[in-house]
A = this chain, B = another copy of it.
Amino acid sequence: MASSKFLLALFLSIAISSAIGERGPLKLSAVQQCRLQRLRAVEPTRQIESEGGRTELWDENQDQFQCAGVVAMRNNIRPNGLSLPNYHPLPRLVYIEQGQGYISITFPGCAETYEAYKVQRSRESEESWERKQKGSVRDLHQKVHRIRRGDIIAIPAGAAHWCYNDGHEELVAVSINDLNHQSNQLDQKFRAFYLAGGVPKSAQGEQNPFQNIIRAFDSQLLAEAYNVPEEIVKKMQGVEEERGLSIIVRERMSFIRPEEEQEQEQEQEQGNGQSSDNGLEETYCSMKFKTNIENRRKADIYSREAGNVIVADKYKLPILQYIDLSAEKGTLYPNALISPNWAMNGHTIVYVTRGDAQVEIVNHSGRTMMNDRVNKGHMFVIPQYYTSTARAGNNGFEWVAFKTTGSPMRSPLAGYTSVIRAMPLQVLTNAYQISPKQAQGLKVNRGGQSFLLSSSKRRQY
């Protein structure tokens, strides 16, 4: 009894702290300048071509990304392409915009409990592989995760990871790297440590942070560390390597994942609100790294007339408590609106996935920072506390928003949960010099609608 009461109390406590957003990992962006002159929806400005695909980078020196303290990138991996193993000194949140594949996120000390080829007889490539391996020992490795369109994947700082496209179309992954996360004790420069491949020095400018770190080690020492002939280490160092950050694999790879269907079922259950996951029962090595935000049946905000929003926050994906990032997938029907609102707990980085919208962002001194039409492929930052609104175009509007907090909270200015509705009529009439009836209109004319507001055109007809 005492204990269940305590559990409840603890839950409330967690709810409080995250709601207020005053606790948990800290963001260092306060150190940076956010004295922005203008916000703009922009496309990637730099790209790195590799054998297995293309990496596109948004300009991290732009004011808006500096203020948010993030580096944004879009990875395009070709069918049968393998993004080479690497790690980075900051957490990354990935959205799979297109395609399917596998990802593995490696933690030191976790058991290699997955066998690479044994039961799975049905796939052709794998059988030919097995033939070649006749007599060799079975391969054991760490867990490999299936990824598909709509997945949000959290990659902790310092964890090595690789990714493979086993589908028939390009695998497109849009991601945000949080330079301000407290796990990063280096400075706020974006770095990645590649364990293979790497962009050749000749092909890169000063800014290129992608290199094979194995290349720099004494090959003799490494050979002894691995207890292998030095020529193997020399291959690992790939001095003549020109393949870049991703490669095309020689034979189609496949991985045994007996739990695959099981996992999907489980996710569906959780999506139905049955999850009792509180972030406590998972151990380090079996921690869940991903969740899907594509299925509208799992919407957190749903309006039959205006659209829907699906959230991936620390309650749905407990690792986001440590990563202190989150994401949402939103859909706005043609001409519908997003209530003017401000984010209480972090910056919002919006990536447009479909359609278009007119977006307006206002700063504290009542200045319009942005009032532009944004289109597919655009990215822009809504700084914390800045008030923003949007109206979808005639074809609707879809977006993915990354947030620099694990427990995002919005304060809307219009609609059922708005601050205006929370104020007494007398405060409104006096503050705005309007009649009680007009004030009442401000409070209730949107009825039960919150955040997503239907188009008045639609309603009028």
**Interface mask (A76-99 → B, CB under 8 Å = 1, otherwise 0):** 000000101101010100000000
Pick from B22, B109, B323: contact of A157, CB under 8 Å: B22
A411 (CB) vs chain B CBs: closest residue: B108
Residues of chain B within 8 A of A188, CB atoms compared: 30
Pick from B227, B371, B455: contact of A445, CB under 8 Å: B227
A256 (CB) vs chain B CBs: closest residue: B424
Cβ-based interface call for A225 (8 A): yes
Cβ-based interface call for A270 (8 A): no
Residues of chain B within 8 A of A180, CB atoms compared: 30, 185
Residues of chain B within 8 A of A367, CB atoms compared: 211, 216
Residues of chain B within 8 A of A16, CB atoms compared: 282-284, 287, 322
A133 (CB) vs chain B CBs: closest residue: B436
Residues of chain B within 8 A of A212, CB atoms compared: 366
Q: Which of A82, A112, A422 has the most CB of B within 10 A?
A: A422
Pick from B29, B211, B215, B431: contact of A84, CB under 8 Å: B431
Q: A141-B424, A197-B431 are in contact. Are A21 and B183 (CB under 8 A)?
A: yes
A443 (CB) vs chain B CBs: closest residue: B139
Closest CB-CB distance, A261 to chain B, in whole Å? 21
Q: Are A217 and B340 in contact (CB under 8 A)?
A: yes
**Interface mask (A184-201 → B, CB under 8 Å = 1, otherwise 0):** 111111011111111000
Q: Are A109 and B417 in contact (CB under 8 A)?
A: yes
Residues of chain B within 8 A of A323, CB atoms compared: 22
Q: A187-B30, A195-B419, A424-B139 are in contact. Are A280 and B13 (CB under 8 A)?
A: yes
Q: Are A232 and B441 in contact (CB under 8 A)?
A: yes
Cβ-based interface call for A45 (8 A): no
Interface-facing stretch out of A32-40, A168-176, A292-300:
A32-40
Cβ-based interface call for A456 (8 A): yes
Which A208-225 residues have C-beta < 8 A from chain B? 208-209, 211-218, 221-222, 224-225
Which A1-53 residues have C-beta < 8 A from chain B? 2-4, 6-7, 9-10, 12-13, 15-17, 19-35
Closest CB-CB distance, A204 to chain B, in whole Å? 9
Closest CB-CB distance, A444 to chain B, in whole Å? 7
Expressed in whole angstroms, the Cα–Cα distance for A342 and B411 within the complex equals 40
Pick from B4, B30, B116, B193: contact of A184, CB under 8 Å: B30
Q: Are B366 and A216 in contact (CB under 8 A)?
A: yes
Q: A211-B366, A364-B192, A391-B221 are in contact. Are A17 and B247 (CB under 8 A)?
A: no
Q: A109-B417, A137-B444 are in contact. Are A366 and B213 (CB under 8 A)?
A: yes
Closest CB-CB distance, A171 to chain B, in whole Å? 16
Q: What are 12 A-B pairs at a CB distance below 8 A?
A: A15-B284, A67-B187, A139-B443, A158-B345, A160-B411, A186-B384, A221-B360, A224-B453, A224-B456, A225-B453, A235-B433, A253-B426
Which A123-174 residues have C-beta < 8 A from chain B? 129, 132-133, 136-137, 139, 141-142, 144, 156-160, 162, 164
Q: Are A25 and B26 in contact (CB under 8 A)?
A: yes
Residues of chain B within 8 A of A4, CB atoms compared: 2
Expressed in whole angstroms, the Cα–Cα distance for A194 and B419 within the complex equals 12
Expressed in whole angstroms, the Cα–Cα distance for A432 and B444 within the complex equals 64
**Interface mask (A230-254 → B, CB under 8 Å = 1, otherwise 0):** 0010011010000000010111010
Cβ-based interface call for A387 (8 A): yes
Expressed in whole angstroms, the Cα–Cα distance for A132 and B415 within the complex equals 26
Residues of chain B within 8 A of A321, CB atoms compared: 17, 22-23
Q: Which of A10, A22, A360 has the most CB of B within 10 A?
A: A22
Q: Are A187 and B34 in contact (CB under 8 A)?
A: yes
Residues of chain B within 8 A of A19, CB atoms compared: 107, 284
The 5 closest A-B pairs by CB, nearest first: A22-B322, A3-B3, A158-B344, A211-B366, A9-B280
